[in-house]
Structure 1
Amino acid sequence: MILSPSLLSSDYGRLADELAALEAAGCKWVHWDVMDGSFVPNITLGAPIIKRLRKASKLFFDVHLMVDRPERYIGDFVDAGSDMIVVHAESTAHVERALAEIKRQGVQCGVALNPHTPLTVLDYVLDQLDMVLLMSVNPGFGGQKFLPFTMRKIEDLSAMIKARGLKTLIQVDGGVDPDNTAELVRRGADVLVSGSAFFGFPPYAERLKTFEAAAAKA
């Protein structure tokens, strides 16, 4: 299990310090929620902030674009130092084109699905994905409750990936905490995104151990 703490719940006034603290705590990934105020209601941060902070961190930058027509910004986020760029299937009419462009620029790619979006939209792109992000809340806000039907969706996606002999990672984002971690991992989740349930319980090293201990029970 890889834990990717979501900076959406961090102290935005101290992002460089937060990244350093995550690294010191033993985290390997960090999740950037990029929101445009159109695809989702809120506005968060953009490529210039990520680019500036890339110089201060060795963490794997897991960048989740919750923006309309993300293909317009792929070059910016590659240049900013993203290690993985995830676009929403619902945000563009040209998902395959966006994924191909991310790959062409040498960055890992993923597709995110909103809770109601069926797995069938992945049929013709799954083979080119490094990761699928399953939203377990409706995107745009932190601190929401986990939607229980996501458990079956994780299991179904895991079966699809295994049937094709792929190594595509499954990421789950929304309402993730130590109480549901074991079940998420048991169903097939590889990467867990946690915001308020992580940042709200310092010290970070101890909170990471709590998640890892829960995952070990899967």
Structure 2
Amino acid sequence: MIKLSPSILSADFSRLGEHISAIEKYGADWVHIDVMDGMFVPNISFGAPIMKAIRPLTKMVFDVHLMIEDPGRYIKDFVDAGADMITVHYEADKHIHRTIKYIKSFGVKAGIALNPGTPVALIEDLIEDIDMVLIMSVNPGFGGQKYIEFSGKKVAQVKALKDMYNKELYIQVDGGIDSSNVKKVIECGANSIVAGSAVFKNDEIEKNIKALKGNF
């Protein structure tokens, strides 16, 4: 089953609780929480206290994407705030295997994210230790960017590793996904879809989610 994980970075923060309730009502599976530190990426978003505040609002999986330098420093904070899955960037961590093991020590699922310029081959030795690979289909840091076309090839490469190791693995795509291209990335092997602007645009959440899931 393909999981839809709307990125609340594109929600109206003055109506965040309302928007979280709406995505749950209209068929989203997870809540994608983009954490930015202004160092690994140019933008700053929010941290564990905001996540902790919204945790009681839904039983949906909290899919936490840490776009931060040296993410191991903050894993426990996000576990304590209610994360169900924590994804860290291969490029941001000098000791990525240790950080993955640390995340899993809390009983939380662990993922690795790859920027557009990072080859899939670099994570082959880690596949058996992780629960998800996140393929960034834009350069991280800003919402509303255009999908990078070669991302589908990278999704297919992860799918090949998944099959080679007979591994249960979420293959997530994040960046520029909408109803015009979501079917294409699913055909390449994606089974978890992050969408921000495509879910929250024009405050037509029900319509937007139906348009996306109509391609699943």
Under TM normalisation by the shorter chain, which class is it? over 0.9
* Percent identity of paired positions between Structure 1 and Structure 2: 47
Residue pairs, 1:129-144, within 5 angstroms: 129-144=130-145
Confirm or deny: 8 A CA contact 1:10 1:199 kept in the other structure: yes
Q: What is the aligned-residue RMSD (CA, Å)?
A: 1.0
Which residue of 2 is the match for residue 205 of structure 1?
Answer: 206
What SS does the aligned partner of 2:172 have?
A: strand
Match in the other structure for 1:83: 84
Shift of 1:7: 0.8
1:112 match: secondary structure: strand
Name the structure 2 match of 1:119.
120
Instruction: Give the aligned residue type for 1:130.
Output: D
Give the Cα separation in 1 of the matches to 2:169 and 2:104. Answer: 15
Pairwise mapping of residues 172-183 of structure 1 onto structure 2 (< 5 A)?
A: 172-183=173-184
| TM-score, normalised relative to structure 2 | 0.97
Structure 1 range deviating more: 32-41 or 21-30: 21-30
Structure 1 position 188 matched with structure 2 position 189: yes
The list of structure 1 runs, each at least 4 consecutive aligned residues, that deviate by more than 4 angstroms after superposition, is: none
SS at match of 1:115: coil
Write out aligned runs for 1:27-38 (5 A).
27-38=28-39
Distance in 2, matches of 1:13 and 1:207, equals 20
Count of residue correspondences: 215
SS of the residue aligned with 2:181?
Answer: helix
* Structure 1 residues 55-90: Cα deviation after superposition (integer angstroms, max 9, x where no partner): 111111100000000000000000000010000000
1:203 to partner: Cα distance: 3.0
Residues 201 and 207, structure 1, Cα contact 8 Å, conserved in 2: no
Determine if the alignment matches structure 1 residue 104 to structure 2 residue 99.
Answer: no
Task: Tell me, yes or no, if the aligned pair for 2:124 and 2:161 is still in contact at 8 Å.
Answer: no
Quick one: distance in 2 between partners of 1:184 and 1:27? 18
Q: Which runs of 5+ in 1 are unaligned?
A: none
Whole-Å separation in 1 of the counterparts to 2:195 and 2:204: 15
TM-score, scaled to structure 1: 0.96
Q: Say which is worse superposed, 64-73 or 53-62, in terms of deviation.
A: 53-62
